[in-house]
């Protein structure tokens, strides 16, 4: 089953790359769907995205924005990639 989803994701990404320059906006949604399929079926892909989000606060901010505006099923997949331990510079410091 995993092979089937990876094949579908590869086809979506290939179609997205082929149509990204067309005036009809189909490339970016196809790339996003293919990426979400890969993230949802691969722990390693989710872990890699989580590490990139941890190192890049701007990228993490974009994904949090997407999580808030995505349908519930897609939001759950993206929330799985949230960084667990953010660097000290991006944590809120509470004063006592």
pLDDT digits (tens, 9 = 90+) for 36-74: 999 999 999 999 999 999 999 999 999 999 899 988 988
Domains of the chain, residue spans: 1-41, 43-82
Instruction: Please report the sign of the dihedral spanned by the C-alpha atoms of residue 89, residue 79, residue 12, residue 69.
Output: negative
Q: Across all residues in the chain, what is the average pLDDT?
A: 86
Counting runs of H as helices and runs of E as strands, what totals does the chain give?
5, 0
> What is the band of 22 on the pLDDT scale with cuts at 50, 70, 90?
confident
């Amino acid at each position: 089953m995993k092979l089937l989803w990876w094949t579908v994701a590869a086809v979506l990404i290939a179609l997205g790359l082929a149509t990204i320059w067309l005036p009809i906006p189909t490339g970016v949604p196809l790339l996003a769907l293919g990426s979400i399929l890969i993230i949802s079926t691969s722990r390693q892909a989710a872990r890699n995205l989580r590490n990139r989000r941890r190192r890049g606060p701007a990228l993490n901010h974009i994904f949090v924005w997407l999580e808030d505006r995505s349908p519930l099923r897609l939001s759950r997949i993206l929330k799985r990639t949230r960084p667990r331990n953010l660097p000290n510079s991006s944590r809120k410091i509470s004063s006592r």
